[in-house]
């Protein structure tokens, strides 16, 4: 079994994992680095629950082999806020009632963050398309779309994704 | 002396009725919530289950030598290693003489396997990878058997026996009047057969948990469950006293009835007890789809008789459900179906004959709507056909027949709270607004309506109760303790809102501890749309008790009468506006020896089992009524159905948190659309073909419209502040509303779910083979 060392940054913090080459990014995040904020919903790349940003782009971490993360920036939902302050998207999910069981939420917010960063004035229909790869079984999506739309900086929501990240 | 009339309750409420953000939502958006699979313990083992590949087989031999020899394997358990290998589910009031009065499930398969995916052996190992490897090394020799895979075939003479004692698991009958004669004399009779499918709960969080022997020697299991009371089942299987097993229920990643029966907790208990080490078990999505109980498929045969003016005269319903290989809650699911089969309508003559049969299909059990939801396709398709046949407007037909307060159901249960069927139907239908134009000449627009009746709260024969403890800390902050599992519907946060209301506190001053069988007073299951009703009433009572204690002492400090003292913003306030803060009151309580906490129990209205057939009376505490209206567009070239608008109206009694209530309605409606349009666990001769999320399709954001919720607040529910339960009801109407809308659009009646493009195309004659 080929073992290798994979080094990357997790939410800005450098880390290094010694791992078998066939393990996934999701496995090393949860099992080796204790990044329990990344959830596993299906393990087959369908539900979007395990979404993280790899160099800023959303990926299903269950489909990414760990060595692929070498030298990359990995960002989870915990990397979006600014220290003690929540990211406006996180706040919008709370105030708009976009959270029920919450299991899909870390992946959903990460997807929404990357989308709003690139499409700060997105319409509801564009947001609806953007989250089609993130399943939610509780909310029926309406309040999730409400939350994302209300946080869109181009619509007055002020998600700082547009400014920097 | 005339006192000004008190303002209506709604205007007097401070916390209840407001869309307050939920405390758990703050944790969840930061991913601070540790779900069952996120728990880690030092020295923890990882467990896996060996499952049967056959739906029906005898086990000839099991060889575990290779698995045990694999380095890193700590334990391999078979049926003979389980102290008591049977789990029992009580089915009180079961009237049938056939089938077991108590439902049996074997913990691990012994001699026989009855469905594909049935657990045969357990492994605990140092890593999950080793555990999975060891499962593959367990050698089981099976003698496959023919099996039986259809409930009708299962009840035919000479069918393969799934269990000893025959394949008829349970039956219920309901009779009112003389339906045969009424049907013979009716002006119109609509007769049809409907079929609905296996579906999966498909919560995003697969089944998971961690068990350990705590420092006090108590077997402790932290598990994703809707029922912490399963600690008793674990104790029974292990042969331990019930007070030596503790279940902790963290916030769930969804339940929907799929975490009502035991999942991993018994396996974890067995392995932790055997190894004396912490053990974690997580089922993969594929394992969950393969082996967890599903929603019951039904065959519904309806004969509906009506007079020319649309008044119903008779409803004769024959129901046959597929229990799959084990009973689980099938007998009760069937009873919910039978009791509601005539719909929310006045029908003078009723016959319901309901049966559920064992097969070698995946087991079926609780899922949101629990039998009552499957009936809506039957009774609302019949109503729609009747409206068309008689040329009566669909809303008008329902108005002529709707139940009202004071009416009795066919079982004889009187309806003693508001019945909002007519109002809900009217409001939902009107909210559809102007009809849209089709998007192309090949498309057609149609509209459909479906009303429903869904019980909330457990059957009165179960003598249901819930308890809660509330207590003040010396600084005036409040602690609530109750055994309520929070499945994601905001159960805990709603309880905090109730406490905030009664005790005049900001919800931010309240900490709630839930779902720990050792440390929180038991509140029963988060199932049957009962938790807001039951633990809501328990928290309400506990808070009212605590309020009395506090206010008495405050009145002494304020030198006034207790009944003139209000609690507001952490103070007690006299009628003249003088205030005293909680910390001072609480110190005075301590000095006087007055308790600063209160434990209370809410006992639901209870009754003895009744004979349904003889119209025995009350079965459920109460019901929630509603109606959904949809507008669809049907592609006449492909059969594809798109839902353009969806309005969902329910009488929720009182919305404790309107935002949470809307969320329940929107989420339930979308789950109902999934059931109506796309979801099906395909089972071929007992082999489950839908064991991937890539093949078992649930709605994405692109498959469904925004659901518009309409809340009716009659204030007449039996929950706190007049609330009704709303967890299950919204899932029920969408499928029938869609089927009705499809007929409105293209003139074909779909009688089998889901309403796929293929079924619509076939009905339109587009496929040429029928």
Average pLDDT over residues B299-322: 98
Does B98 lie in the same domain as B29?
no
How many A×B Cβ pairs under 8 Å?
167
Of A30-39, A77-86, B358-367, B373-382, the range with the lowest mean pLDDT is: A77-86
d(CA B402, CA B614): 23
Q: Does B704 touch chain A (CB under 8 A)?
A: yes
Does B557 lie in the same domain as B514?
yes
Calculate the CA B724 to chain-centre distance: 15
The dihedral through the CA atoms of B216, B218, B224, B230 has a sign that is: negative
From the list B284, B666, B693, the residue facing A140 with the nearest CB is B666
Does B343 lie in the same domain as B441?
yes
User: Helix, strand, or coil here: B604?
Assistant: coil
Nearest-Cα distance to chain A for B503, in Å, is 24
Does B686 lie in the same domain as B650?
yes
CB contact under 8 A, A46 and B692: yes
From the list A91, A106, A136, the residue facing B31 with the nearest CB is A106
User: A89-142: per-residue pLDDT in tens?
Assistant: 999 999 999 999 999 999 999 999 999 999 999 999 999 999 999 999 999 999
In chain A, where the domains are located: 3-79, 88-159
* B416 or B8: which leads in pLDDT: B416
Does B290 map to a domain?
no
Q: Which tokens go with B286?
A: 């594929």
From B239, B258, B282, give the residue that closes a domain.
B282
Does B636 lie in the same domain as B592?
no
User: B254-272: per-residue pLDDT in tens?
Assistant: 999 999 999 999 999 999 9
Q: Does B209 touch chain A (CB under 8 A)?
A: no
Confidence of residue A82 (pLDDT cuts 50, 70, 90): confident
User: Helix, strand, or coil here: B395?
Assistant: helix
Does B257 lie in the same domain as B368?
no
Confidence of residue B12 (pLDDT cuts 50, 70, 90): confident
Phi–psi pair at B720, nearest 5 degrees: -60, 140
Assess: ipTM above 0.85: yes
* B310 or A157: which leads in pLDDT: B310
CB contact under 8 A, A137 and B666: no
Confidence of residue B4 (pLDDT cuts 50, 70, 90): low
Does B164 map to a domain?
no
User: B621-641: per-residue pLDDT in tens?
Assistant: 999 999 999 999 999 999 999
pLDDT of res. B131: 98
pLDDT of res. B91: 52
The domain that contains B558 carries what CATH number? 3.30.365.10
Task: Supply the DSSP string of B216-261, one letter for each residue.
Answer: TS-EEEEE--S-GGGHHHHHHHHT--GGGEEEE-PPPS--TTTTTS
Average pLDDT over residues B503-523: 97
pLDDT of res. A155: 80
- Report whether pLDDT(A20) > 70: yes
CB contact under 8 A, B205 and A93: no
- Fold (topology level) of A3-79: Ubiquitin-like (UB roll) (3.10.20)
Task: Supply the DSSP string of B659-686, one letter for each residue.
Answer: HHHHHHHHHHHHHHHHHHHT----EETT
pLDDT of res. B97: 40
Could you say which residues from 38 to 67 on chain B have a Cβ atom under 8 Å away from some Cβ of chain A?
A: 38, 40
d(CA B121, CA B588): 60
- For residue B764, the 8-state DSSP code is T
Calculate the CA B316 to chain-centre distance: 27
Could you say which residues from 620 to 659 on chain B have a Cβ atom under 8 Å away from some Cβ of chain A?
A: 659
- Report whether pLDDT(B769) > 70: no
CB contact under 8 A, A101 and B205: yes
Q: Does B668 touch chain A (CB under 8 A)?
A: yes
Of A30-34, B85-89, B724-728, the range with the lowest mean pLDDT is: B85-89
Does B196 map to a domain?
no
Residue-number span of the structural domain to which B434 is assigned? 298-403+418-459+609-763
User: A129-155: per-residue pLDDT in tens?
Assistant: 999 999 999 999 999 999 999 999 888
Q: What is the mean pLDDT of chain B?
A: 95
User: B446-456: per-residue pLDDT in tens?
Assistant: 999 999 999 99
Does B29 lie in the same domain as B40?
no
Residues in B closer than 8 angstroms to A76, CB to CB, are 31
Reported CATH class of domain A88-159? mainly alpha
Residues in B closer than 8 angstroms to A133, CB to CB, are 700
Of residues B440, B36, B70, the one with CA closest to residue B254: B36
Does B159 map to a domain?
no
The dihedral through the CA atoms of B210, B211, B216, B218 has a sign that is: positive
Strands B279-282 and B45-51: parallel
Of A13-27, A71-85, B115-129, B685-699, the range with the lowest mean pLDDT is: A71-85
Average pLDDT over residues B459-483: 95
Mutate to test the interface with A, among B23, B27, B29 (most CBs of A within 10 A): B29
d(CA B35, CA A36): 9
From B547, B568, B603, give the residue that closes a domain.
B603
pLDDT of res. A81: 82
Does B365 lie in the same domain as B324?
yes
Confidence of residue B104 (pLDDT cuts 50, 70, 90): confident
What is the percent of chain A with per-residue pLDDT over 90, rounded to a whole number?
88
Does B359 map to a domain?
yes
User: Would the pTM count as exceeding 0.90?
Assistant: yes
From the list A44, A102, A143, the residue facing B33 with the nearest CB is A102
Confidence of residue B93 (pLDDT cuts 50, 70, 90): very low
From the list A37, A137, A144, the residue facing B31 with the nearest CB is A37
Query: Closest chain A residue to B487 measured between Cα atoms?
Result: A101
- Report whether pLDDT(A84) > 90: no
- Report whether pLDDT(A162) > 50: no
Cα dist from B460 to B93, B340, B464, B605, B633, whole Å: 11, 16, 7, 6, 43
pLDDT of res. B139: 98
Axis-axis angle for helices A142-151, A88-95 (nearest 10): 140
Does B217 map to a domain?
yes
Contact (Cβ atoms closer than 8 angstroms) between residue B742 and residue B641: yes
The domain that contains B55 carries what CATH number? 3.90.1170.50
Could you say which residues from 123 to 162 on chain A have a Cβ atom under 8 Å away from some Cβ of chain B?
A: 128-129, 131-145
CB contact under 8 A, B204 and A49: yes
Does B613 lie in the same domain as B570?
no
Angle (nearest 5°) at CA B574 between B569 and B579: 50
Q: Does A32 touch chain B (CB under 8 A)?
A: no
For the beta carbon of residue B752, count every other beta carbon within 10 angstroms. 16
Cα dist from B86 to B105, B234, B239, whole Å: 6, 11, 11
Does B721 lie in the same domain as B576?
no
Q: Which tokens go with A40?
A: 């596993």
Q: Does B489 touch chain A (CB under 8 A)?
A: yes
Does B545 map to a domain?
yes
Q: Does B740 touch chain A (CB under 8 A)?
A: no
Q: Does B698 touch chain A (CB under 8 A)?
A: yes
From the list A43, A77, A97, the residue facing B284 with the nearest CB is A43
Cα dist from B722 to B270, B542, B606, B730, whole Å: 44, 17, 19, 19
Q: Which tokens go with A3?
A: 């073992």
Average pLDDT over residues B557-583: 97
- Report whether pLDDT(B95) > 50: no
From B282, B313, B344, give the residue that closes a domain.
B282
Does B617 lie in the same domain as B590?
no
- For residue B294, the 8-state DSSP code is B
pLDDT of res. B608: 81
Does B469 lie in the same domain as B448?
no
- Report whether pLDDT(B249) > 80: yes
Q: Which tokens go with B642?
A: 């798109």
Does B614 map to a domain?
yes
Instruction: For chain A, state the CA radius of gyration.
Output: 16
Average pLDDT over residues B589-611: 93
Nearest-Cα distance to chain A for B593, in Å, is 41
Could you say which residues from 554 to 593 on chain B have a Cβ atom under 8 Å away from some Cβ of chain A?
A: none
Looking at the structure of chain B, the number of domains it has is 3
């Amino acid at each position: 079994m080929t073992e290798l060392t994979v080094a990357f940054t997790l939410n800005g913090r450098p880390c290094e994992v010694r791992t078998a080459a066939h393990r996934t990014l999701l496995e090393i995040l949860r099992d080796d680095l204790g990044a329990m904020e990344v959830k596993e919903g299906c393990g087959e790349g369908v539900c979007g629950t395990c979404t993280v940003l790899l160099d800023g782009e959303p990926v299903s971490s269950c489909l990414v082999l760990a060595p692929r993360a070498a030298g990359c920036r990995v960002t989870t939902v915990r990397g979006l806020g600014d220290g003690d302050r929540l990211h406006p998207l996180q706040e919008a999910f709370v105030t708009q009632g976009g959270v029920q069981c919450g299991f899909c939420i870390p992946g959903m917010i990460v997807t929404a963050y990357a989308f709003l960063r690139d499409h700060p004035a997105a319409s509801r229909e564009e947001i609806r398309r953007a989250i089609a790869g993130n399943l939610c079984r509780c909310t029926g999506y309406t309040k999730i779309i409400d939350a994302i739309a209300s946080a869109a900086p181009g619509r007055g929501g002020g998600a700082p994704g547009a400014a920097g990240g | 002396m005339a006192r000004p009339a008190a303002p209506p309750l709604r205007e007097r409420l401070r916390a209840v009725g407001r869309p307050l953000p939920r405390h758990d939502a703050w944790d969840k958006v930061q991913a601070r919530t540790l779900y069952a699979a996120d728990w880690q313990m030092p020295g923890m083992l990882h467990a896996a289950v060996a499952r049967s590949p056959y739906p029906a087989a005898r086990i000839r031999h099991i060889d575990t030598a290779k698995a045990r020899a694999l380095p890193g394997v700590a334990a391999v358990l078979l049926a003979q290693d389980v102290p008591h290998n049977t789990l029992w589910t009580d089915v009180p009031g079961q009237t049938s003489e056939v089938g077991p009065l108590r439902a049996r499930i074997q913990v691990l398969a012994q001699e026989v396997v009855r469905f594909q995916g049935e657990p045969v052996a357990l492994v605990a190992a140092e890593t999950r990878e080793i555990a999975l490897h060891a499962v593959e090394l367990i050698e089981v020799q099976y003698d496959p058997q023919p099996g039986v895979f259809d409930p009708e075939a299962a009840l035919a003479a000479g069918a393969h026996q799934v269990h000893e004692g025959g394949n008829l698991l349970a039956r219920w009958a309901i009779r009112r009047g003389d339906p045969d004669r009424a049907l013979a004399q009716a002006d119109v009779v609509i007769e049809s057969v409907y079929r609905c499918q296996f579906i999966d709960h498909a919560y995003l969080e697969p089944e998971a948990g961690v068990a350990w022997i705590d420092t006090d020697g108590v077997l402790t299991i932290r598990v994703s469950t809707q029922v912490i009371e399963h600690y008793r089942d674990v104790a029974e299987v292990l042969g331990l006293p019930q007070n030596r097993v503790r279940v902790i229920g963290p916030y769930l990643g969804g339940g929907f009835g799929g975490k009502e029966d035991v999942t991993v907790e018994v396996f974890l208990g067995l392995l932790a007890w055997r190894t004396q080490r912490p053990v974690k078990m997580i089922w993969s999505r594929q394992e969950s789809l393969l082996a967890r109980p599903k929603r019951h498929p039904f065959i519904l045969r309806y004969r509906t008789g009506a007079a020319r003016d649309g008044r119903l005269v008779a409803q004769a319903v024959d129901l046959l459900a597929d229990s799959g290989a084990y009973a689980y809650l099938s007998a009760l699911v069937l009873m919910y179906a039978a009791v509601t089969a005539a719909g929310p309508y006045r029908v003078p003559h009723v016959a319901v004959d309901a049966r559920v049969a064992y097969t070698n299909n995946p087991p079926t059990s609780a899922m949101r709507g629990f039998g009552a939801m499957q009936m809506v396709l039957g009774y609302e398709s019949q109503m729609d056909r009747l409206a068309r046949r008689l040329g009566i407007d669909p809303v008008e037909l329902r108005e002529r027949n709707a139940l009202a307060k004071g009416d009795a159901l066919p079982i004889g249960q009187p309806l003693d709270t508001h019945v909002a069927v007519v109002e809900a139907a009217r409001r939902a239908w009107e909210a559809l607004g102007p009809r849209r134009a089709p998007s192309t000449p090949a498309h057609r627009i149609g509209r459909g309506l479906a009303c429903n009746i869904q019980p909330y709260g457990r059957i009165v024969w179960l003598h249901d109760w819930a308890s809660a403890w509330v207590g003040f800390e010396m600084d005036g902050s409040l602690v609530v303790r109750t055994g309520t599992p929070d499945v994601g519907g905001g159960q805990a946060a709603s309880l905090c809102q109730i406490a905030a209301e009664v005790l005049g506190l900001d919800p931010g001053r309240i900490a709630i501890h839930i779902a720990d069988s050792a440390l929180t007073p038991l509140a029963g299951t988060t199932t049957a749309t009962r938790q807001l009703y039951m633990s809501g009433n328990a928290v309400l009572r506990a808070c009212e008790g605590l309020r009395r204690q506090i206010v008495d002492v405050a009145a002494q400090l304020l030198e006034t009468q207790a009944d003139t003292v209000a609690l507001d913003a952490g103070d007690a306030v006299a009628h003249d506006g003088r205030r005293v803060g909680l910390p001072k009151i609480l110190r005075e309580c301590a000095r006087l020896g007055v308790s600063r906490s209160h434990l209370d129990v809410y006992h639901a209205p209870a009754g003895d089992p009744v004979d349904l057939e003889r119209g025995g009376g009350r079965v459920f505490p109460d019901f929630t009524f509603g109606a959904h209206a949809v507008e669809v567009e049907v592609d006449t070239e492909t059969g594809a159905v798109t839902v353009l608008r969806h309005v969902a109206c329910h009488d929720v009694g009182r919305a404790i948190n309107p935002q949470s209530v809307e969320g329940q309605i929107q989420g339930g409606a979308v789950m109902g659309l999934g059931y109506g349009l796309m979801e099906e666990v395909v089972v071929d001769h007992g082999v489950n073909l839908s064991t991937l999320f890539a093949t078992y399709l649930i709605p994405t954001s692109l498959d469904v419209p925004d659901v518009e919720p309409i809340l009716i607040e009659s204030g007449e529910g039996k929950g706190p502040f007049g609330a009704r339960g709303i967890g299950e009801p919204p899932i029920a109407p969408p499928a029938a509303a869609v089927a009705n809308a499809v007929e409105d659009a293209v003139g074909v009646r779909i009688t089998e779910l889901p309403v796929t493009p293929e079924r619509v195309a076939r009905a339109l004659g587009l496929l040429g083979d029928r």
